[in-house]
Structure 1
Amino acid sequence: MQDPLATLSLGSRRRFLVELVLVVAVFGGLLAMMTIDQAIGSGPGPKIFVLVRMAALLLLCTWLLHRGGERWADVGLRRPARWWSVPLLLVAGTSAFLVIALTIYPVLGALGIEPPRVDHTALRGDLIEYLYWAGPVSWGTAAFGEELLLRGFILDRIIKVIGSSRLPAVLVSIVLQAAVFGSLHVHQGLGGVIVTGTIGVLFGLMWLLGGRNLWACIVLHGLINSISHYEAYSLPSS
């Protein structure tokens, strides 16, 4: 069976490359303006900025998809072909995430690499602050927004730039989008890049095993972020 992407013209692949570079550059530039750590505990302006920048990125990608005759459903935001695949992937993905969490930090320590620099102490004991970051941010910008951008738009564009939908090319694309995901967390240090990049590979594999569908990734991403914020909120006072 012929690979449908093998027929993509050089001009089309160049357009996909330009779109890929544009979205990654804008994404990186907006993240560099303010990290999540800087926004937590700040006033309403930074909090609104975190939501607005994700909305702007999604609007940009929506426009790029529309001008190419595509929709978000074409890059994974659609009803799963088999409803039971989502809870099954969530169980498998959660198990894999726990294995990663239990093994990667000792490995980083053995290599002399500092763990991710994450400071969410401003959430400690502040219920309103916690609810904001565990709700609209964890599920809106992180779970829904980042999955649409990374495992949806960016991964799709990498596959199309490579010009093959065959498994080896898709696996390479998953690793490349994970590298982008990790690099977007460079403010957390090398440890943060490695940890988030590894999680990016996990989400990419979940997307692939789920029939190139985003919903299992979205739910697991939201759960991970919400639990992380709850841990910071429930820390005992020093």
Structure 2
Amino acid sequence: MTTTIEQYQMQPPELQGMGWGRFLLQILSVGIVYIAASVPPIVILGQGSNGILASVATSMLGALVVAWFWLRRDGTLTEAWILARPASWPKTLLMALGTTIAIILWFSLGAMLVEALGFNAPEVQMVLDFVVESPLSFVLWIVVVAWLAAGLGEELLWRGFLFDRLNRLAGIKGRIWLALLIQAAAFGLPHIYQGMGGVLITGVVGLFLGWVRIKSSWSLLPCVLAHAAVDTVMMSLAYAQKLEWIAF
């Protein structure tokens, strides 16, 4: 049965349950493919901008293909990945704009909070150095990473696939805020390369984006647009700083 945005309210409809064995199989298979698909581009292209860019793209693509396979096999694709045309574009865009502003403000406030807790602020300069290498590199990172891998890919994977699986999992099903917290923690952990501060700050972002999905009648569109916009703003500011258009 196809589920439309209009059929979702603050809670999803009655969901088919999922056992822990099937849940772990699906999560592990997605994770293994994600890691495995990230290696060949780096081996072939090296650890420079091109290699990292290709690695991000192939790992996300591989993970999404496996996630798509499981969702389609379980007959839950239209419930997990709601990207249909919204009932109101102005409302959707306004939600995305508010989410974008809130996340950008949180990055500044969160950096101060994690430092007050004794952790280092997130270190993302290495990534931004790749972004600003050249005009072509800047465009590729915006399109491939900000919009496709992060904006679309991460939202389909975390707020879509993982959140849906958790909402069906035995022991968690019916406890939507528990599922929300777990997906947020799982979203933060892969950002350990930014230090513990990055894990904490990104985890809060994941929590907020999960809440936005709930408030958006379970549509992923506001999350996708906001996530992509945040990364675009951050990369654009770094490039503008390199060109000495702005100074921090």
TM over 0.5: yes
- Percent identity over paired residues: 27
Q: Does 1:104 align with 2:114?
A: no
Match of 1:67 among 73, 87, 106: 73
Q: Does 1:27 align with 2:52?
A: no
Aligned counterpart, 1:16: 23
CA contact (8 A) 1:4 1:165 kept: no
Aligned counterpart, 1:130: 138
Q: Does 1:139 align with 2:174?
A: no
Aligned counterpart, 1:149: 157
CA contact (8 A) 1:31 1:184 kept: no
Could you tell me how far apart the structure 2 residues matched to 1:137 and 1:21 are? Answer: 23
Residue 22 of structure 1 and its aligned partner are, at CA, apart by 3.1
List per-residue Cα deviations over 1:137-190 (Å, max 9, x = no partner). 211111111110000001111111145664xx1111111111111001111110
Aligned counterpart, 1:158: 166
Greater relative CO, 1 or 2 (CA 8 Å, sep 6+): 1
CA contact (8 A) 2:38 2:58 kept: no
Could you tell me how far apart the structure 1 residues matched to 2:97 and 2:183 are? Answer: 23
Please, which runs of 5 or more residues in structure 2 have no aligned partner? 1-12
Could you tell me how far apart the structure 2 residues matched to 1:107 and 1:78 are? Answer: 34
Please, which runs of 5 or more residues in structure 1 have no aligned partner? none
Residue 206 of structure 1 and its aligned partner are, at CA, apart by 0.7
Q: Which amino acid in structure 1 is aligned with residue 23 of structure 2?
A: F
Q: 1:171 to 1:22 in 2, by over 3 A?
A: same
Q: 1:33 to 1:179 in 2, by over 3 A?
A: farther
Moved more, 23-32 or 49-58: 23-32
List per-residue Cα deviations over 1:98-150 (Å, max 9, x = no partner). 44123211111211210112121233362111001011221111111111000
Q: Which amino acid in structure 1 is aligned with residue 49 of structure 2?
A: S
Number of residue pairs matched? Answer: 227
Q: Which amino acid in structure 1 is aligned with residue 14 of structure 2?
A: P
CA contact (8 A) 1:113 1:190 kept: yes
Could you tell me how far apart the structure 2 residues matched to 1:70 and 1:51 are? Answer: 25
Could you tell me how far apart the structure 1 residues matched to 2:64 and 2:108 are? Answer: 33
Match of 1:189 among 192, 195, 200: 195
Aligned counterpart, 1:215: 221
Q: Which amino acid in structure 2 is aligned with residue 75 of structure 1?
A: A
Q: 1:184 to 1:29 in 2, by over 3 A?
A: farther
Aligned counterpart, 1:115: 121
List per-residue Cα deviations over 1:42-99 (Å, max 9, x = no partner). 34x443332122111111111111221232x221323234434312312331342244
Q: Which amino acid in structure 2 is aligned with residue 117 of structure 1?
A: E
Could you tell me how far apart the structure 2 residues matched to 1:94 and 1:53 are? Answer: 25
CA contact (8 A) 2:37 2:55 kept: no
Q: Which amino acid in structure 1 is aligned with residue 97 of structure 2?
A: V
Could you tell me how far apart the structure 2 residues matched to 1:33 and 1:86 are? Answer: 38
CA contact (8 A) 1:155 1:174 kept: yes
Q: TM-score, normalised by structure 1?
A: 0.83
